[in-house]
Chain A
């Protein structure tokens, strides 16, 4: 099946710094990628929808200036958490789809902000 990778798998950073997370579709071209946030033992909260070559569509309540999304190619999307604070600590998951298929999820990135 299709494979989606995320890098890094975990990151620890100081408060106020920015962190970039990459999401790649390894063996297919993803028409759309999604970024989710997952809290412990809770559901996935969709943050934004990312289409290659266009601006991301953010869900209500998600600060677009804080969570910068760039979808430079059909196989790569990046999420940058700017000026991170401890409350941004979470598990960030990306997923990718081809048209008409179900979602393929990345393994997630654990972000800890000190």
Chain B
């Protein structure tokens, strides 16, 4: 069975500080990992996926298969980063079906 764990339900940092949202997964195969973001009163949207290896809005995430982690990082948090962040895992053998973590609410204080 696949599982995604986001150990922090709430995370609060000051503007300009580094931020790291943790995500650990369990899956026996080779998964696809995603980070989704949900801003206040907006729909859930894709932030980044591990196979793209890109930086979106200053965020990066590296898949660490040894530690089964896919932590989301940003060196300098901004107030507009305040949102709910979900880590998700998709099996590469099952078209589309994803498992979501419980989410982390990030608050960036001025």
Interface set of A (CB-CB < 8 Å, partner B): 31-32, 34, 41-44, 46, 49, 93, 95, 97, 99, 102-108
Contact A93 to B44, CB < 8 A, known contacts A42-B102, A43-B102, A43-B103: yes
* Residues 54-110 (chain B) with a chain A CB within 8 angstroms: 84, 86, 95-103, 105
6 pairs, CB–CB < 8 Å, chain A vs chain B: A41-B105, A97-B95, A102-B34, A102-B49, A104-B46, A106-B43
Q: CB-CB < 8 A to B100: which residues of A?
A: 43-44, 46
User: From B9, which residue of chain A is reached at the shortest CB distance?
Assistant: A41
Given A103-B98, A105-B43, A106-B43, output 15 extra A-B contacts at Cβ < 8 Å.
A32-B95, A34-B97, A43-B86, A43-B101, A43-B102, A44-B100, A49-B97, A93-B44, A95-B44, A99-B95, A103-B46, A103-B96, A107-B42, A107-B43, A108-B43
Which size bracket describes the interface of B in this complex? 20 to 34
**B9-33 interface code vs A (CB 8 A; 1 in, 0 out):** 0000000000000000000000000
- B43/A49 in contact, CB under 8 A: no
A32 to B96: give the CA distance in the assembly, Å.
7
A41 to B34: give the CA distance in the assembly, Å.
19
User: Separation in Å of the B69 CB from the closest CB of chain A?
Assistant: 18
- B96/A34 in contact, CB under 8 A: yes
Q: CB-CB < 8 A to A99: which residues of B?
A: 95
User: From A106, which residue of chain B is reached at the shortest CB distance?
Assistant: B43
A77 to B34: give the CA distance in the assembly, Å.
24
In-complex Cβ contact of A31 among B36, B45, B95 (8 A): B95
Q: CB-CB < 8 A to A41: which residues of B?
A: 84, 103, 105
A34 to B44: give the CA distance in the assembly, Å.
13
Q: CB-CB < 8 A to B99: which residues of A?
A: 46
Q: CB-CB < 8 A to A32: which residues of B?
A: 95-96
Of all A-B residue pairs in the complex, the 8 with the closest CB atoms, nearest first, are A105-B44, A107-B43, A43-B102, A97-B96, A32-B96, A102-B46, A44-B100, A43-B100
Q: Which of B36, B42, B98, B105 has the most chain A CB within a 10 Å cutoff?
A: B98
Q: CB-CB < 8 A to B86: which residues of A?
A: 43-44
